[in-house]
Structure 1
């Protein structure tokens, strides 16, 4: 829970005593059945192995192991105190036991993205809210309460049974290709679908209005939160679930549903075509998918009616204002490298399209671009001809949106149609 409340240190210290013991008998182990089902422990019951600081390479945050449980010391704040798993997870069942101090406040976050631009994990990762609501001295909004998908979805309180402060509870998150469930002590208390119209409406109208990348990542690290209150965790275990593939039409031919505009340049639909056109400001402009697409096979058709300096960004994110950070598959006038790959705000050209393939581009006619992205490999084709094939570790670690670009300088007009994607 973020920017929550003042650190009630006296309450924390008072509530801390008497709950430090974790009862190590038969804890932090997996049954043979669980092992056969694919469950893995994220905590061995003895060390902090497998955990580190958010955006860090080692563990320096105020966490330690006490009597078989990971324990937050209560020294964290809104800006600090977060630890994350070494490994990223995509689709999973995640189960854990937890116990809070009196008036305690913590959380379990997932799909957390680590980038220097993000100082705290909650601007990207959804949170299963953990809070000692009966003893909390301040009024809680429904979306701040126990078991909520914090600031997004509210649990069914009629199904909630929370053991009293100082006793152990069990929670579980199921994330299965966008289907999300919150469980508490064996009861499902919340269920919703991520990335739907309703989900995006909630994201864009509440706490996350100024956090454009919140909740979009399809994979990320698991994160525990020390929010200034001692908290204990044990039996943290996860079972990974398979990724499902899908075929998606990114443009419906009617409107810009599923896309976000960044900048003041013109994006509109006319005669069933998606049009990008320079506006009076003559600045960079972007049309970005609302959702992330990491591994995919994308085909798009484009026609350059005027200066065609444009591009298709992959695994990109909105850093600030109109600034898009990621990798661009170039769309440009003849002789300027259509099909090559350029890294924005970084290394520049990673690979340019060969000069002897300049004539593959059709001038003032429809062209078909295919972009295959899988892991750290990117291959592009223009009108059936392979343009570049790149293997890059940094791209392999990236994730994000697909975005169309209008270059600055003015005078640009490009038509788009048949933007079809298959997830891999």
Structure 2
């Protein structure tokens, strides 16, 4: 993991950190962008801030934790941390929004001097092999969580193999201890357990949904492992339905020239055979005034009609990887590993998103053919359903 962490750090001085292209294609996402606390929620009153590619927990303030706004189930999580001489912190996983995070989920220790559960341990569950870490230096921490199995490596050395069935799903968090300064950087995650929903050979498992108003109905085809679409409007939807999940896919918007930015989207929790229903994660790599932070029409990764992408990361004529996490009212999207949206539906529960209702029940996933100028390719579509707490 060392080379990966170092590469990510080199980008941290830029406007936002970036993942190496290969890592983004493998499904890694950044939980910390190197510059802001976007995608995080402070719980308990501790003081956190971002500076120079580092997420800092300051000594001031009471005990607490900084948690992701997106919950996860099975994953590999890697990060770097730096602590003081008697540093005491930890990494929480699968924790609930409310309650003590080490009780509702798990705490993985950062405290070398703990007599029973030193750094790398699953606190109150399984001790790790003891390691001595130099204070003031950066160290790598890797946690692999798959079902009820957990593995921890510190600086590339395996220190823990454990099993526990308590928690299957929840938030990731960083512990703040009053009087202790703790620093984290290069916080990245790869979801595990995803299964393909497109075999690269044909459209089995998918259904076309056309609209009578289409003068040029979309043409969906499969060639060379790519799902290709031209013309529109229309959509291609899954025969299976999903409510809470993580979806990853590669997309290429094929532009015919500087003024052409193909418009498409991925619809979530749609009603079967109903045209363009549910939530939409936009695909449109266009922005205003040469400023990627000013997306046109919500921009790639934006939640259409609800939250624009905070930055256009993708480019036309080049494959980009999109990660969509849907859990209850919460939707989050990453493009090439960079989080561009983070939205919680505040509306009353119902079945029609367009009527300002929060749709929480299972629905189809659809690929949009927007208009007669549509020209896109999709590949590597894979998904994992998320468990309930």
TM-score by length of 1: 0.42
TM-score by length of 2: 0.46
Structure number with greater Rg is: 1
